[in-house]
Structure 1
Amino acid sequence: MNETVTALVADDEEAPREQLLLALQTAWPELRILARAVNGADAWDAWLEHEPQVCFLDVRMPGLSGIEVAQRIAGRAHVVFVTAHGDHALDAFNTGAVDYVLKPVDGARLAQAVRRVRARLMANANQAPPDLARLLQQLGVQARRPAPLEVIQAGVGREVRLIRVEEVLYFESDTRYTRVVHADGDALIRTPLKELLTQLDPERFWQIHRSVVVNQRCIASALRIDEGSMVITLRGRDERLPVSRHFQGLFRAQ
Protein backbone atom coordinates (compact mmCIF):
# COMPACT_ATOMS: atom_id res chain seq x y z
CA MET A 1 0.00 0.00 0.00
CA ASN A 2 1.29 3.45 -0.90
CA GLU A 3 -1.08 5.31 1.41
CA THR A 4 0.13 5.81 4.96
CA VAL A 5 -1.83 3.68 7.42
CA THR A 6 -2.57 5.08 10.88
CA ALA A 7 -2.81 3.17 14.14
CA LEU A 8 -3.55 3.28 17.86
CA VAL A 9 -1.72 1.14 20.44
CA ALA A 10 -3.33 0.55 23.84
CA ASP A 11 -1.92 -1.41 26.78
CA ASP A 12 -2.00 -0.54 30.47
CA GLU A 13 1.43 -2.09 31.07
CA GLU A 14 4.40 -0.03 29.90
CA ALA A 15 6.83 -2.86 29.11
CA PRO A 16 4.47 -4.85 26.80
CA ARG A 17 3.31 -1.61 25.17
CA GLU A 18 6.86 -0.53 24.38
CA GLN A 19 7.74 -4.04 23.20
CA LEU A 20 4.81 -3.98 20.77
CA LEU A 21 5.75 -0.52 19.48
CA LEU A 22 9.32 -1.67 18.91
CA ALA A 23 8.16 -4.85 17.15
CA LEU A 24 5.84 -2.82 14.91
CA GLN A 25 8.80 -0.73 13.75
CA THR A 26 10.21 -3.92 12.25
CA ALA A 27 6.99 -5.59 11.11
CA TRP A 28 5.39 -2.44 9.68
CA PRO A 29 7.90 0.44 9.47
CA GLU A 30 5.53 2.63 7.38
CA LEU A 31 2.78 2.46 9.99
CA ARG A 32 2.06 5.83 11.60
CA ILE A 33 1.21 5.54 15.30
CA LEU A 34 -1.18 8.40 16.06
CA ALA A 35 -1.82 7.62 19.72
CA ARG A 36 -0.67 5.48 22.63
CA ALA A 37 -3.19 4.74 25.37
CA VAL A 38 -2.67 3.33 28.87
CA ASN A 39 -6.27 2.21 29.51
CA GLY A 40 -9.49 1.52 27.68
CA ALA A 41 -11.09 4.91 28.31
CA ASP A 42 -8.06 6.69 26.88
CA ALA A 43 -8.05 4.31 23.92
CA TRP A 44 -11.68 5.08 23.07
CA ASP A 45 -11.13 8.81 23.50
CA ALA A 46 -8.02 8.65 21.29
CA TRP A 47 -9.93 6.74 18.61
CA LEU A 48 -12.64 9.41 18.54
CA GLU A 49 -9.99 12.12 18.24
CA HIS A 50 -7.70 10.53 15.64
CA GLU A 51 -9.82 7.87 13.87
CA PRO A 52 -6.91 5.51 13.19
CA GLN A 53 -7.45 2.74 10.65
CA VAL A 54 -5.88 0.01 12.81
CA CYS A 55 -6.06 -0.54 16.58
CA PHE A 56 -3.78 -2.82 18.60
CA LEU A 57 -5.74 -3.34 21.83
CA ASP A 58 -4.79 -5.16 24.99
CA VAL A 59 -7.76 -7.32 25.96
CA ARG A 60 -7.62 -6.71 29.71
CA MET A 61 -7.35 -3.04 30.67
CA PRO A 62 -8.83 -1.03 33.55
CA GLY A 63 -12.01 0.92 32.89
CA LEU A 64 -12.99 -0.27 29.43
CA SER A 65 -11.52 -3.56 28.28
CA GLY A 66 -10.08 -3.98 24.80
CA ILE A 67 -13.22 -5.93 23.88
CA GLU A 68 -15.45 -3.05 25.01
CA VAL A 69 -13.38 -0.57 23.01
CA ALA A 70 -13.68 -2.83 19.96
CA GLN A 71 -17.44 -3.02 20.45
CA ARG A 72 -17.63 0.78 20.54
CA ILE A 73 -15.53 1.08 17.39
CA ALA A 74 -18.04 -1.34 15.82
CA GLY A 75 -16.46 -2.04 12.45
CA ARG A 76 -14.95 1.39 11.82
CA ALA A 77 -11.34 0.23 12.20
CA HIS A 78 -9.36 -2.99 11.90
CA VAL A 79 -8.54 -4.43 15.33
CA VAL A 80 -5.73 -6.70 16.46
CA PHE A 81 -6.13 -7.90 20.04
CA VAL A 82 -2.97 -8.24 22.12
CA THR A 83 -3.38 -10.60 25.06
CA ALA A 84 -1.50 -12.71 27.57
CA HIS A 85 -4.41 -15.17 27.67
CA GLY A 86 -4.84 -17.51 24.71
CA ASP A 87 -8.22 -18.88 25.75
CA HIS A 88 -10.41 -20.85 23.36
CA ALA A 89 -12.62 -17.91 22.36
CA LEU A 90 -9.66 -16.02 20.96
CA ASP A 91 -8.79 -19.01 18.75
CA ALA A 92 -11.78 -18.05 16.63
CA PHE A 93 -10.12 -14.73 15.78
CA ASN A 94 -7.52 -16.70 13.84
CA THR A 95 -10.06 -17.05 11.01
CA GLY A 96 -8.91 -13.69 9.71
CA ALA A 97 -12.03 -11.68 10.56
CA VAL A 98 -10.24 -10.42 13.67
CA ASP A 99 -6.64 -11.23 14.59
CA TYR A 100 -4.82 -11.48 17.88
CA VAL A 101 -1.23 -11.67 19.10
CA LEU A 102 -0.13 -13.28 22.34
CA LYS A 103 2.21 -11.63 24.85
CA PRO A 104 5.15 -11.55 24.90
CA VAL A 105 4.89 -10.49 21.26
CA ASP A 106 6.61 -12.82 18.83
CA GLY A 107 7.99 -11.01 15.80
CA ALA A 108 6.95 -13.69 13.32
CA ARG A 109 3.40 -13.89 14.71
CA LEU A 110 3.07 -10.10 14.64
CA ALA A 111 4.32 -10.04 11.05
CA GLN A 112 1.59 -12.56 10.16
CA ALA A 113 -1.06 -10.38 11.78
CA VAL A 114 0.29 -7.33 9.95
CA ARG A 115 0.08 -9.14 6.61
CA ARG A 116 -3.54 -10.02 7.29
CA VAL A 117 -4.46 -6.48 8.24
CA ARG A 118 -2.68 -5.01 5.21
CA ALA A 119 -4.38 -7.49 2.90
CA ARG A 120 -7.73 -6.60 4.41
CA LEU A 121 -7.02 -2.89 4.02
CA MET A 122 -6.21 -3.39 0.34
CA ALA A 123 -9.18 -5.67 -0.31
CA ASN A 124 -11.61 -3.44 1.54
CA ALA A 125 -10.34 -0.06 0.36
CA ASN A 126 -13.89 0.99 -0.46
CA GLN A 127 -15.66 -1.02 2.23
CA ALA A 128 -16.04 -0.80 5.99
CA PRO A 129 -13.97 -3.11 8.24
CA PRO A 130 -15.78 -6.16 9.59
CA ASP A 131 -18.33 -5.51 12.32
CA LEU A 132 -16.46 -6.49 15.47
CA ALA A 133 -19.46 -6.13 17.73
CA ARG A 134 -21.43 -8.66 15.71
CA LEU A 135 -18.50 -11.07 15.53
CA LEU A 136 -17.86 -10.86 19.25
CA GLN A 137 -21.54 -11.54 19.88
CA GLN A 138 -21.43 -14.59 17.60
CA LEU A 139 -18.38 -15.87 19.45
CA GLY A 140 -20.09 -15.39 22.80
CA VAL A 141 -17.40 -12.99 23.98
CA GLN A 142 -18.82 -10.50 26.47
CA ALA A 143 -17.15 -7.91 28.61
CA ARG A 144 -17.57 -8.30 32.36
CA ARG A 145 -18.65 -4.94 33.72
CA PRO A 146 -19.15 -3.84 37.34
CA ALA A 147 -22.57 -2.61 38.46
CA PRO A 148 -23.42 0.79 36.93
CA LEU A 149 -22.93 3.97 38.91
CA GLU A 150 -26.10 4.93 40.84
CA VAL A 151 -25.24 8.16 42.69
CA ILE A 152 -22.96 11.10 41.89
CA GLN A 153 -21.52 13.32 44.61
CA ALA A 154 -21.15 16.89 43.41
CA GLY A 155 -19.83 19.85 45.39
CA VAL A 156 -22.05 22.95 45.18
CA GLY A 157 -20.50 25.66 47.36
CA ARG A 158 -20.11 24.15 50.83
CA GLU A 159 -22.72 21.51 50.13
CA VAL A 160 -22.10 18.01 48.80
CA ARG A 161 -25.12 17.18 46.69
CA LEU A 162 -26.11 13.58 45.93
CA ILE A 163 -27.53 13.26 42.43
CA ARG A 164 -29.16 10.02 41.39
CA VAL A 165 -27.74 8.99 38.02
CA GLU A 166 -31.19 8.02 36.72
CA GLU A 167 -32.25 11.66 37.15
CA VAL A 168 -29.38 13.04 35.05
CA LEU A 169 -30.43 14.44 31.67
CA TYR A 170 -26.96 14.60 30.19
CA PHE A 171 -23.26 14.94 30.95
CA GLU A 172 -21.11 17.47 29.13
CA SER A 173 -17.33 17.79 29.18
CA ASP A 174 -16.35 21.28 30.35
CA THR A 175 -12.57 21.78 30.11
CA ARG A 176 -11.26 20.35 33.42
CA TYR A 177 -14.70 19.34 34.70
CA THR A 178 -17.80 17.42 33.68
CA ARG A 179 -21.11 19.26 33.82
CA VAL A 180 -23.94 17.15 35.22
CA VAL A 181 -27.32 18.47 34.02
CA HIS A 182 -30.48 17.32 35.79
CA ALA A 183 -34.06 18.53 36.06
CA ASP A 184 -33.33 20.77 39.07
CA GLY A 185 -30.18 22.41 37.72
CA ASP A 186 -26.60 21.40 37.09
CA ALA A 187 -23.32 20.78 38.91
CA LEU A 188 -19.66 20.35 38.08
CA ILE A 189 -17.63 17.28 39.02
CA ARG A 190 -13.95 16.58 38.53
CA THR A 191 -14.41 13.10 37.06
CA PRO A 192 -13.55 13.25 33.32
CA LEU A 193 -16.33 12.28 30.95
CA LYS A 194 -14.30 9.42 29.48
CA GLU A 195 -13.92 7.96 32.99
CA LEU A 196 -17.64 8.37 33.70
CA LEU A 197 -18.38 6.39 30.54
CA THR A 198 -16.82 3.32 32.11
CA GLN A 199 -19.23 3.58 35.07
CA LEU A 200 -22.53 4.35 33.33
CA ASP A 201 -25.10 1.88 32.04
CA PRO A 202 -24.54 1.90 28.24
CA GLU A 203 -28.16 0.87 27.65
CA ARG A 204 -29.42 4.03 29.36
CA PHE A 205 -26.68 6.56 28.64
CA TRP A 206 -25.67 7.12 25.02
CA GLN A 207 -22.56 8.92 23.95
CA ILE A 208 -23.61 11.21 21.10
CA HIS A 209 -20.48 13.35 20.85
CA ARG A 210 -16.96 13.19 22.18
CA SER A 211 -18.03 15.71 24.85
CA VAL A 212 -21.69 14.74 25.44
CA VAL A 213 -23.39 11.69 26.97
CA VAL A 214 -27.19 11.77 27.20
CA ASN A 215 -29.85 9.82 29.09
CA GLN A 216 -31.63 8.21 26.15
CA ARG A 217 -34.95 8.19 28.04
CA CYS A 218 -34.89 11.99 27.97
CA ILE A 219 -34.42 12.33 24.19
CA ALA A 220 -37.44 13.81 22.41
CA SER A 221 -36.19 13.89 18.81
CA ALA A 222 -33.20 13.91 16.49
CA LEU A 223 -33.02 16.53 13.76
CA ARG A 224 -30.70 16.29 10.77
CA ILE A 225 -29.41 19.77 9.90
CA ASP A 226 -27.55 18.76 6.75
CA GLU A 227 -25.72 15.72 5.39
CA GLY A 228 -23.12 15.73 8.14
CA SER A 229 -24.82 17.52 11.04
CA MET A 230 -27.45 16.38 13.52
CA VAL A 231 -28.80 17.63 16.85
CA ILE A 232 -31.12 16.15 19.45
CA THR A 233 -33.75 17.81 21.62
CA LEU A 234 -34.73 16.76 25.13
CA ARG A 235 -38.22 16.51 26.57
CA GLY A 236 -39.22 19.78 28.19
CA ARG A 237 -35.86 21.44 27.48
CA ASP A 238 -34.64 24.09 25.03
CA GLU A 239 -31.11 22.73 24.49
CA ARG A 240 -30.03 21.28 21.18
CA LEU A 241 -27.19 18.86 21.71
CA PRO A 242 -24.82 18.03 18.82
CA VAL A 243 -24.53 14.48 17.49
CA SER A 244 -21.19 13.76 15.82
CA ARG A 245 -21.15 11.59 12.73
CA HIS A 246 -19.74 8.62 14.66
CA PHE A 247 -22.99 8.37 16.62
CA GLN A 248 -25.63 9.39 14.10
CA GLY A 249 -26.36 5.72 13.45
CA LEU A 250 -28.08 5.63 16.85
CA PHE A 251 -30.91 7.65 15.34
CA ARG A 252 -32.46 5.80 12.42
CA ALA A 253 -36.15 5.57 11.67
CA GLN A 254 -37.50 2.04 12.12
Structure 2
Amino acid sequence: MKAMIIEDSRLARQELKELLLAHPHISLCAEAENPRDAYVIIQRENPELLFLDINMPGKNGFELLQELSYDPKVIFITAYADQAIHSFNFNTVDYLLKPVSPERLQKALDKLKADTAVNEAEEIQPALEFHSQVMLRDGDKCYWVRLQDIHYFESCGNYTRVFWANEKVTLFRALGKIELRLPETHFFRANRQQIVNITEVVNVEPWVNGGYQLQLRSGMVLEISRRHATRFRELFSL
Protein backbone atom coordinates (compact mmCIF):
# COMPACT_ATOMS: atom_id res chain seq x y z
CA MET A 1 0.00 0.00 0.00
CA LYS A 2 1.30 3.43 -0.98
CA ALA A 3 1.88 5.52 2.15
CA MET A 4 3.25 8.87 3.29
CA ILE A 5 4.54 10.20 6.63
CA ILE A 6 3.59 13.73 7.71
CA GLU A 7 5.38 14.68 10.91
CA ASP A 8 7.29 17.80 11.95
CA SER A 9 9.87 15.90 14.01
CA ARG A 10 12.72 14.52 11.91
CA LEU A 11 13.54 12.02 14.67
CA ALA A 12 9.96 10.77 14.84
CA ARG A 13 9.86 10.35 11.06
CA GLN A 14 13.09 8.34 11.15
CA GLU A 15 11.86 6.11 13.99
CA LEU A 16 8.64 5.37 12.14
CA LYS A 17 10.47 4.57 8.91
CA GLU A 18 12.65 2.09 10.80
CA LEU A 19 9.58 0.42 12.31
CA LEU A 20 7.98 0.16 8.87
CA LEU A 21 10.93 -1.82 7.52
CA ALA A 22 9.30 -4.83 9.16
CA HIS A 23 6.18 -4.25 7.02
CA PRO A 24 7.23 -4.42 3.35
CA HIS A 25 3.61 -4.28 2.16
CA ILE A 26 3.64 -0.59 3.20
CA SER A 27 5.48 1.35 0.50
CA LEU A 28 6.54 4.85 1.54
CA CYS A 29 6.32 7.26 -1.39
CA ALA A 30 7.18 10.47 0.48
CA GLU A 31 7.44 12.33 3.75
CA ALA A 32 6.78 15.94 4.78
CA GLU A 33 7.37 18.02 7.89
CA ASN A 34 4.35 20.31 7.60
CA PRO A 35 0.84 20.32 6.07
CA ARG A 36 1.73 22.94 3.45
CA ASP A 37 4.41 20.78 1.84
CA ALA A 38 2.37 17.64 2.43
CA TYR A 39 -0.61 18.99 0.48
CA VAL A 40 1.49 19.53 -2.66
CA ILE A 41 2.98 16.04 -2.44
CA ILE A 42 -0.41 14.39 -1.79
CA GLN A 43 -1.87 16.07 -4.88
CA ARG A 44 0.92 14.53 -6.92
CA GLU A 45 1.32 11.11 -5.33
CA ASN A 46 -2.23 10.28 -4.13
CA PRO A 47 -1.09 8.03 -1.26
CA GLU A 48 -3.62 5.51 0.00
CA LEU A 49 -2.43 5.79 3.62
CA LEU A 50 -1.17 8.70 5.72
CA PHE A 51 0.82 8.41 8.93
CA LEU A 52 -0.22 11.80 10.25
CA ASP A 53 0.79 13.95 13.19
CA ILE A 54 -1.86 16.39 14.42
CA ASN A 55 -0.05 19.35 15.97
CA MET A 56 2.38 20.82 13.44
CA PRO A 57 3.54 24.31 12.38
CA GLY A 58 0.90 26.23 10.47
CA LYS A 59 -2.16 24.07 9.83
CA ASN A 60 -2.78 20.96 11.89
CA GLY A 61 -3.36 17.45 10.58
CA PHE A 62 -7.16 17.75 10.72
CA GLU A 63 -7.10 20.94 8.62
CA LEU A 64 -4.92 19.22 6.04
CA LEU A 65 -7.40 16.35 5.68
CA GLN A 66 -10.28 18.79 5.22
CA GLU A 67 -8.49 20.31 2.22
CA LEU A 68 -8.12 17.01 0.39
CA SER A 69 -10.55 16.01 -2.33
CA TYR A 70 -10.43 12.32 -1.41
CA ASP A 71 -10.34 10.27 1.79
CA PRO A 72 -7.06 8.44 2.28
CA LYS A 73 -6.83 6.04 5.19
CA VAL A 74 -5.17 7.65 8.18
CA ILE A 75 -3.13 6.37 11.10
CA PHE A 76 -2.74 9.31 13.47
CA ILE A 77 0.51 9.41 15.43
CA THR A 78 0.52 12.08 18.12
CA ALA A 79 1.59 12.93 21.65
CA TYR A 80 -1.93 14.03 22.65
CA ALA A 81 -4.63 11.58 23.73
CA ASP A 82 -7.41 14.17 23.98
CA GLN A 83 -7.90 14.50 20.21
CA ALA A 84 -8.81 10.88 19.55
CA ILE A 85 -12.56 11.52 19.29
CA HIS A 86 -12.10 14.25 16.66
CA SER A 87 -9.84 11.96 14.65
CA PHE A 88 -12.72 9.62 13.89
CA ASN A 89 -14.44 12.29 11.82
CA PHE A 90 -12.02 11.12 9.14
CA ASN A 91 -11.18 7.80 7.49
CA THR A 92 -9.21 6.77 10.57
CA VAL A 93 -7.65 3.34 10.90
CA ASP A 94 -6.08 3.94 14.31
CA TYR A 95 -4.81 6.58 16.73
CA LEU A 96 -1.33 5.94 18.14
CA LEU A 97 0.38 7.78 20.96
CA LYS A 98 4.08 8.57 20.83
CA PRO A 99 6.43 6.88 21.28
CA VAL A 100 5.05 4.18 18.98
CA SER A 101 6.04 0.63 19.86
CA PRO A 102 6.47 -2.13 17.26
CA GLU A 103 3.57 -4.02 18.87
CA ARG A 104 1.20 -1.06 18.71
CA LEU A 105 2.10 -0.36 15.08
CA GLN A 106 1.48 -4.01 14.27
CA LYS A 107 -2.03 -3.79 15.73
CA ALA A 108 -2.76 -0.69 13.67
CA LEU A 109 -1.59 -2.36 10.46
CA ASP A 110 -3.65 -5.45 11.31
CA LYS A 111 -6.70 -3.18 11.50
CA LEU A 112 -5.72 -1.70 8.15
CA LYS A 113 -5.45 -5.15 6.61
CA ALA A 114 -8.86 -6.20 7.94
CA ASP A 115 -10.48 -2.98 6.70
CA THR A 116 -8.87 -3.39 3.28
CA ALA A 117 -10.19 -6.95 3.01
CA VAL A 118 -13.72 -5.71 3.74
CA ASN A 119 -13.37 -2.96 1.13
CA GLU A 120 -12.20 -5.43 -1.51
CA ALA A 121 -15.18 -7.67 -0.80
CA GLU A 122 -17.55 -4.72 -1.14
CA GLU A 123 -15.95 -3.59 -4.41
CA ILE A 124 -17.23 -6.72 -6.16
CA GLN A 125 -20.84 -5.89 -5.30
CA PRO A 126 -22.76 -4.84 -8.41
CA ALA A 127 -23.62 -1.18 -8.89
CA LEU A 128 -27.19 -0.26 -8.11
CA GLU A 129 -29.63 0.92 -10.77
CA PHE A 130 -30.99 4.45 -10.49
CA HIS A 131 -34.51 3.04 -9.98
CA SER A 132 -33.42 0.52 -7.35
CA GLN A 133 -35.05 0.34 -3.94
CA VAL A 134 -32.52 0.47 -1.10
CA MET A 135 -32.81 -0.25 2.60
CA LEU A 136 -31.34 2.41 4.86
CA ARG A 137 -30.83 1.27 8.44
CA ASP A 138 -30.37 3.85 11.18
CA GLY A 139 -30.16 2.21 14.60
CA ASP A 140 -33.29 0.10 15.07
CA LYS A 141 -35.16 1.87 12.25
CA CYS A 142 -35.22 0.81 8.59
CA TYR A 143 -36.30 2.91 5.62
CA TRP A 144 -37.22 1.52 2.19
CA VAL A 145 -36.24 4.26 -0.28
CA ARG A 146 -35.89 4.63 -4.03
CA LEU A 147 -32.31 5.55 -4.90
CA GLN A 148 -33.55 8.21 -7.32
CA ASP A 149 -35.31 10.02 -4.44
CA ILE A 150 -32.11 10.55 -2.47
CA HIS A 151 -30.90 14.15 -2.78
CA TYR A 152 -27.32 13.73 -1.62
CA PHE A 153 -24.92 11.81 0.63
CA GLU A 154 -22.63 13.53 3.13
CA SER A 155 -19.54 12.11 4.80
CA CYS A 156 -19.08 12.22 8.58
CA GLY A 157 -15.81 10.35 8.86
CA ASN A 158 -16.62 6.64 9.02
CA TYR A 159 -20.35 7.43 8.85
CA THR A 160 -22.53 8.84 6.06
CA ARG A 161 -25.66 10.96 6.28
CA VAL A 162 -28.31 10.34 3.61
CA PHE A 163 -30.84 13.06 2.74
CA TRP A 164 -34.13 12.61 0.88
CA ALA A 165 -37.54 14.36 0.99
CA ASN A 166 -37.74 15.71 4.56
CA GLU A 167 -35.84 12.77 5.97
CA LYS A 168 -32.24 11.98 6.83
CA VAL A 169 -30.49 8.98 8.33
CA THR A 170 -26.95 8.22 9.43
CA LEU A 171 -25.41 5.01 8.10
CA PHE A 172 -22.46 3.24 9.70
CA ARG A 173 -20.58 3.16 6.42
CA ALA A 174 -17.98 5.47 4.91
CA LEU A 175 -18.96 7.59 1.91
CA GLY A 176 -16.28 6.00 -0.27
CA LYS A 177 -17.83 2.56 0.21
CA ILE A 178 -21.28 3.84 -0.71
CA GLU A 179 -19.89 5.57 -3.79
CA LEU A 180 -18.75 2.22 -5.22
CA ARG A 181 -22.37 1.12 -5.62
CA LEU A 182 -23.90 4.31 -6.98
CA PRO A 183 -24.63 4.71 -10.72
CA GLU A 184 -22.06 7.19 -12.06
CA THR A 185 -24.55 8.53 -14.60
CA HIS A 186 -26.71 10.04 -11.85
CA PHE A 187 -24.54 10.56 -8.77
CA PHE A 188 -21.56 12.91 -8.82
CA ARG A 189 -18.80 13.39 -6.23
CA ALA A 190 -19.10 17.14 -5.72
CA ASN A 191 -16.37 17.44 -3.12
CA ARG A 192 -14.54 15.49 -0.46
CA GLN A 193 -17.64 15.23 1.72
CA GLN A 194 -20.66 15.09 -0.59
CA ILE A 195 -22.12 13.07 -3.48
CA VAL A 196 -25.08 14.68 -5.20
CA ASN A 197 -27.97 13.26 -7.24
CA ILE A 198 -27.62 15.25 -10.46
CA THR A 199 -31.34 15.02 -11.23
CA GLU A 200 -32.01 17.08 -8.09
CA VAL A 201 -29.94 20.03 -9.37
CA VAL A 202 -31.99 23.00 -10.61
CA ASN A 203 -29.27 25.63 -10.97
CA VAL A 204 -25.48 25.85 -11.41
CA GLU A 205 -23.41 28.95 -10.71
CA PRO A 206 -19.66 29.61 -11.01
CA TRP A 207 -18.08 29.70 -7.58
CA VAL A 208 -14.78 30.58 -5.91
CA ASN A 209 -11.45 29.08 -7.08
CA GLY A 210 -12.92 27.69 -10.29
CA GLY A 211 -15.58 25.57 -8.61
CA TYR A 212 -19.37 25.61 -8.92
CA GLN A 213 -22.31 26.09 -6.63
CA LEU A 214 -25.31 23.76 -7.08
CA GLN A 215 -28.83 24.54 -5.95
CA LEU A 216 -31.08 21.53 -5.36
CA ARG A 217 -34.88 21.33 -5.59
CA SER A 218 -34.99 21.16 -1.81
CA GLY A 219 -33.27 24.55 -1.61
CA MET A 220 -30.04 23.02 -0.33
CA VAL A 221 -26.86 24.53 -1.82
CA LEU A 222 -23.75 22.36 -2.40
CA GLU A 223 -20.35 23.28 -3.73
CA ILE A 224 -18.28 21.47 -6.37
CA SER A 225 -14.62 21.79 -5.48
CA ARG A 226 -12.08 23.01 -8.00
CA ARG A 227 -10.58 19.53 -8.31
CA HIS A 228 -13.96 17.99 -9.21
CA ALA A 229 -15.09 20.90 -11.39
CA THR A 230 -13.07 19.70 -14.40
CA ARG A 231 -14.79 16.32 -14.42
CA PHE A 232 -18.17 18.02 -13.91
CA ARG A 233 -17.62 20.10 -17.05
CA GLU A 234 -16.47 17.05 -19.01
CA LEU A 235 -19.57 15.08 -18.08
CA PHE A 236 -22.27 17.73 -18.26
CA SER A 237 -21.16 20.47 -20.69
CA LEU A 238 -22.21 20.54 -24.35
TM-score (norm 2): 0.51
Matched, 1:123 2:145: no
Counterparts of 1:92 and 1:218 in 2: how far apart (Å)? Answer: 28
Alignment-derived partner of residue 179 in structure 1: none
Q: What are the superposed Cα offsets for residues 93-121 of structure 1, whole Å, 9 maximum, x if unpaired?
A: 58996211111111111111111112212
Alignment-derived partner of residue 90 in structure 1: 84
Aligned pair in 2 of structure 1 residues 10, 216: CA closer, same or farther (>3 Å)?
A: same
Aligned pair in 2 of structure 1 residues 62, 120: CA closer, same or farther (>3 Å)?
A: same
Superposition misfits of 4+ residues, deviation over 3 angstroms:
91-97, 215-222, 243-249
Which amino acid in structure 1 is aligned with residue 3 of structure 2? A
* Shift of residue 71, structure 1, vs aligned partner: 2.0
TM-score (norm 1): 0.48
Aligned pair in 2 of structure 1 residues 94, 81: CA closer, same or farther (>3 Å)?
A: same
Alignment-derived partner of residue 7 in structure 1: 3
Contact 1:71/1:133 (CA < 8 Å) preserved in 2? no
Alignment-derived partner of residue 34 in structure 1: 29
Which amino acid in structure 2 is aligned with residue 20 of structure 1? L
Counterparts of 2:211 and 2:105 in 1: how far apart (Å)? Answer: 48
Contact 1:6/1:33 (CA < 8 Å) preserved in 2? yes
Contact 1:7/1:55 (CA < 8 Å) preserved in 2? yes
Paired positions, count: 148
Contact 2:210/2:229 (CA < 8 Å) preserved in 1? no
Q: What are the superposed Cα offsets for residues 113-134 of structure 1, whole Å, 9 maximum, x if unpaired?
A: 111112212211365xxx9972
Q: What are the superposed Cα offsets for residues 18-68 of structure 1, whole Å, 9 maximum, x if unpaired?
A: 111111112x22211011111011111111100011011111111221111
Alignment-derived partner of residue 201 in structure 1: none
Counterparts of 2:88 and 2:156 in 1: how far apart (Å)? Answer: 16
SS at match of 2:55: coil
SS at match of 1:35: strand
SS at match of 1:124: helix
SS at match of 2:21: helix
Alignment-derived partner of residue 131 in structure 2: none
- Please, which runs of 5 or more residues in structure 1 have no aligned partner? 139-214, 223-242
Contact 2:90/2:158 (CA < 8 Å) preserved in 1? no
Aligned pair in 2 of structure 1 residues 248, 58: CA closer, same or farther (>3 Å)?
A: farther
- Please, which runs of 5 or more residues in structure 2 have no aligned partner? 124-152, 161-205, 214-225
Alignment-derived partner of residue 157 in structure 2: 135
SS at match of 2:3: strand
> Of the candidates 14, 18, 28, which is equivalent to residue 18 of structure 1?
14
RMSD in angstroms over aligned alpha carbons?
4.0
Map 1:214-233 to 2 at 5 A: 216-217=207-208
